[in-house]
Structure 1
């Protein structure tokens, strides 16, 4: 196991205040201030995927990372440092490497829990800190490098967002969807370790290397029916429309008492025994861990006690998720979309899904 020895030396500039501090606090003055860090780290060629370097500020985390992985391997969130050069005059999806296909970029944004197409077309600097953090993560995971060490990991987001973001990163890396092969999180926050589930972590507080046996806590959702006014928390995050039908039956999912997801259903025009999923939204800070699919399954199971349940969606991430979900059966795929007809056309809604691929799914009631 390699041992990393990092020596940090800085000159001491003589002044009246420097001598005053030295006299008051018994600091020994010399020409240089010296700090030495000696730690064991896993070999970068060994069999691991996720690592972490944690410890209080000033404990040498960044110094050790640069010594072990080099400047080229280290990246910091631009929320703290200007490591990623996000353009101010372009959409965030245009800030990634030009050689990357658009579908690969949007798939990675979905993977790290940033599943909001309306936000993808905005410049990086107008996004929230949580959204910026997810963009920085997607950028890092799409770099064609053997290893990425991400400094100031989760430093600019609240702790709930940090935990969900860490779990989304772990899920993406374990599934092999990232271009980088190994990822090291560098942070002063110990609370993300259980959620990141690293193969190893180095605690700079005592300079001890730990091999991981950490497991992510279960996410317990509470789902209940709710009034339509709860939609106001979610409407701006829906990828197509902020409108909610007045006849919609609404449900709210909470985690630790905080609303994080919304779902509504509607009776299908002309079909007495079918209810359609009308709106499904997970707040951006809690995307990437399957919360939306879990809520969808819960609502479909409830509604399926008396009705058949269907959903039509054009969201790529939801289509992929439902295609892998044995509780749902794909009944129709329309690659270019279609205009409304019949009863819907007579209501004045004639645009439909023209220009968008859509997929229809039916809930398998027999599974339960």
Structure 2
């Protein structure tokens, strides 16, 4: 495929323009010409990247391939409604989670009030849901910090390869290439085309430490529930390069038969990198081998309403689903059961507690372990 770009504007004749021409020996700046051969006509590819410095012709080349992907966002409408109108609810939430926008409160906000990083991921989720035959995305990852750009690029690449479309990403940053692992790259700065170059996605070391609730204020704003701390819990924080990125709490069930895990949170800049499941599985495996303060092997139960996390747990052979409740329990019935339990123990006071009373669909899972998943 040959792409010819020829831009021309009126020649400037002002005093300052003439002085610039004289000082730098430039005849004029009215023309821009770029001729490129991109051998991508018949190739089987999903992701292509045009990378290079500003002003080197990336946008012009992209427009030659297809119109730029610039979706309009309705004012005041939460992104959960604005994305994928023709898609199912599970498809939209799955796309949001897949590109790393897994913070549920963010789904209820309009696009206009999101941060740059959240807008970047919301746009990627919408692109994944729409999955056009060929899309061209300009300024890919240019308006976000490099950490979000790299993690977001990797998350998008994994989600996009599950669609049937093709995408060409235009960017001035080379640091996203190893995370994207594109099928081809054209560098406008060097004029070089690469196809099928083997790129190793960068690895990171996750250091897990046991702690208390001191780190929870950092993670709490990104959790979809506002609840008191777990009773008798052991908290764990995952660190990358000394910075906390994920959190989970474990508490034993009565009789020390099993453990219960909850308050799993991954900070937004690390969502989509797979760190959440890796972290949760590592702590569950440790408890399964008795590496806890009770020195007792215990399997772990985990309940969640997050559709993306529930899908990931079902996909992981180390977990098995044990329950699925489409709506919450009757709070009054739970309250009566607690009162009856108090009377049996000889307590005169009435319980004011009670579980349920909500309409959340809660799914329950049990961790079987790495050995069990291999044997199955």
Question: Counterparts of 1:183 and 1:111 in 2: how far apart (Å)?
Answer: 17
In angstroms, what is the RMSD of aligned CA positions?
A: 2.1
Deviation at 1:300, TM superposition (A): 0.5
Contact in 1 for aligned 2:248/2:264 (Cα 8 Å): yes
Residue in 1 that maps onto 2:32:
35
Deviation at 1:251, TM superposition (A): 0.7
Alignment counterpart, residue 52 of structure 1, candidates 49, 67, 71: 49
Residue in 2 that maps onto 1:80:
none
Deviation at 1:250, TM superposition (A): 0.7
Residue in 1 that maps onto 2:300:
309
Residue in 2 that maps onto 1:100:
87
Say if 1:259 and 1:44 are closer, same or farther in 2 by CA, change over 3 A: farther
Residue in 1 that maps onto 2:126:
139
Say if 1:101 and 1:333 are closer, same or farther in 2 by CA, change over 3 A: closer
Residue in 2 that maps onto 1:121:
108
Matched positions, count = 351
Contact in 1 for aligned 2:134/2:167 (Cα 8 Å): yes
Deviation at 1:186, TM superposition (A): 0.7
Q: Identify which range, 334-343 or 299-308, moves more after superposition.
A: 334-343
Deviation at 1:90, TM superposition (A): 1.6
Structure 2 stretches of 5 or more lacking a match? 291-295, 343-350
Contact in 2 for aligned 1:235/1:243 (Cα 8 Å): no
Q: Identify which range, 153-162 or 5-14, moves more after superposition.
A: 5-14
Deviation at 1:322, TM superposition (A): 1.0
Say if 1:164 and 1:5 are closer, same or farther in 2 by CA, change over 3 A: same
Question: Counterparts of 1:54 and 1:119 in 2: how far apart (Å)?
Answer: 31
Question: Counterparts of 2:198 and 2:240 in 1: how far apart (Å)?
Answer: 25
Q: Normalising to structure 2: TM-score of the pair?
A: 0.87
Q: Whose radius of gyration is greater, 1 or 2? A: 2
Q: In structure 2, the residue corresponding to 1:214 is in which secondary structure? A: coil
Residue in 2 that maps onto 1:321:
312
Residue in 1 that maps onto 2:23:
24
Residue in 2 that maps onto 1:244:
229
Alignment of 1:1-368 (within 5 A): 2-29=1-28, 33-67=30-64, 69-71=65-67, 74-75=68-69, 83-174=70-161, 176=162, 178=163, 181-211=165-195, 212-241=197-226, 243-245=228-230, 247-268=232-253, 270-304=254-288, 305=290, 306=296, 307-339=298-330, 341=334, 342=337, 348-352=352-356, 354-365=358-369, 367=371
Contact in 1 for aligned 2:136/2:168 (Cα 8 Å): yes
Question: Counterparts of 2:353 and 2:72 in 1: how far apart (Å)?
Answer: 42
Deviation at 1:216, TM superposition (A): 0.7
Question: Counterparts of 1:58 and 1:293 in 2: how far apart (Å)?
Answer: 41
Question: Counterparts of 1:366 and 1:9 in 2: how far apart (Å)?
Answer: 63
Contact in 1 for aligned 2:93/2:308 (Cα 8 Å): no
Deviation at 1:19, TM superposition (A): 1.0
Deviation at 1:112, TM superposition (A): 0.7
Question: Counterparts of 1:243 and 1:359 in 2: how far apart (Å)?
Answer: 20
Contact in 2 for aligned 1:264/1:278 (Cα 8 Å): yes
Deviation at 1:349, TM superposition (A): 4.2
Question: Counterparts of 1:224 and 1:198 in 2: how far apart (Å)?
Answer: 35
